[in-house]
Amino acid sequence: MTCPVCGRREPRNPDAPPWALVRDASYFRCPRCSYVYLDRNLLPTPEEEKARYLLHRNDPEDPGYRSYLEDFIRKAVLPFAPPEGRILDFGSGPVPVLARLLSDRGYRVSAYDPFFAPDRTARTGPFDLIALHEVAEHLARPYFELARIARALAPGGRLAIRTRFAPEDPGDFRTWWYREDPTHVGFFGSRSFAALAGRLGMSVDLDDGRETLVLRSL
Ligand SMILES: [Zn+2]
């Protein structure tokens, strides 16, 4: 098996137990970068993914959701994107609430979503910042996919990422609410992002140790 974040190859004994077993689903954990990922045979189909996203309650009028997004903007966007800079909201979902909030602040914003805003010309950079808000946990091949996304960054541009960090303990992981969404297929931690940044040739500008990361292209 090859870790989809750091690329570590590991011969696996098929009889060895997974790091965590939840009902019939096996999760593996990379011994080098601690990335936790779902058995590749259990990845959701695109149809299952889309159906699940439509259940997400991302109501633009919900003050709780707006303040959750504002918190991300304050922490991961404002300190890093220049005024009126170009931003891509990657994985904007059924309703591009984050993109709207960023436009309200004067940024020039494009939104792309493979299911709900699939016009690939929106991905044409260069961007000063690409926001991946609750996207990384859906990626089956994070290194490969983020490398492709990061190609649209301007020199010195940032990837601003929010995804919940995985619990260290498999017992806590088994009962973790964030894992229960069947489209959440991979879970990071600080070591995973450090490894990912190294492999992407990027540096870590911000890591809050919990859920928010900003990586800078060199
Ligand atoms: Zn790894």
CATH number where 168 lies: 3.40.50.150
Whether the pLDDT of residue 201 is over 90: the answer is yes
Residue 5 lies in a domain: no
Sign of CA pseudo-dihedral 165, 214, 35, 147? positive
Residue 208 lies in a domain: yes
Whether the pLDDT of residue 12 is over 80: the answer is no
Query: 164-183: buried (b, 16+ CB within 10 Å) or exposed (e) per residue?
Result: bbbbeebeebeebebbeeeb
CA of 36 to the centre of ligand 1 (A): 9
Mean pLDDT of the chain: 95
CA of 123 to the centre of ligand 1 (A): 28
Whole domain around residue 101: which residue ranges?
Answer: 20-217
CA of 108 to the centre of ligand 1 (A): 35
Residue 32 lies in a domain: yes
Whether the pLDDT of residue 71 is over 70: the answer is yes
pLDDT tens-place string over residues 104-121: 999 999 999 999 999 999
Residue 7 lies in a domain: no
CB-CB contact of 35 with 163 (8 Å) = no
CA of 192 to the centre of ligand 1 (A): 6
Residue 54 lies in a domain: yes
Residue 206 lies in a domain: yes
Q: Provide the percentage of residues in the chain whose pLDDT is more than 70.
A: 99
Helices and strands per DSSP (H, E), number in the chain: 6, 10
Residue 57: the pLDDT is 64
CA of 200 to the centre of ligand 1 (A): 13
CA of 14 to the centre of ligand 1 (A): 19
Question: What total of structural domains would you count in the chain?
Answer: 1
Cα–Cα dist 133/137, whole Å: 10
Residue 8 lies in a domain: no
Taking residues 25-30, report their average pLDDT: 96
Residue 217: the pLDDT is 97
CA of 176 to the centre of ligand 1 (A): 21
